[in-house]
Amino acid sequence: MKIGRVLAHKLRSCNSWSEQLSKDSPNFHNWLTPEQFGKQFGPADADIQTVTDWLAHQGFQQIKVGAGRTAIEFSGNVAQVRNAFHTEIHQFNVNANPARLT
């Protein structure tokens, strides 16, 4: 599974973003690496640690923070998802193929 964060509001107000798109700028197409992006726009280390600790406490495994720091991947079973997120899963993808719980 993957959880993530939307950063559109931060990107819209960022000068470097518009400079990367302007042909007249010295930063034109000078793209950020995922690590640079995460450092500039991602959550604080403490926030990431809080979320990953919570996921581990819920019993999720294989917790990985993406290089851009905007998504966290983790593994778990249906019961863990139900209990942690107080939700039901009716459909999911396995290797990009839709599957349904019966």
Which one, of 66, 64, 87, 57, lies nearest residue 5 by Cα? 66
The DSSP code for 43 is: P
Distance CA(67)–CA(37), nearest Å, equals 9
Query: At 37, which helix (H) or strand (E)?
Result: helix 34-41
Q: Give the count of domains, the chain.
A: 1
Residue 26's SS3 state is coil
54-68, pLDDT tens digit by residue? 999 999 999 999 999
- Report if pTM > 0.85: no
Maximal C-alpha separation, the chain:
57
Q: Domain containing 60: what range?
A: 2-100
pLDDT per residue as tens digits for the range 28-58: 888 889 998 888 888 889 999 999 999 999 9
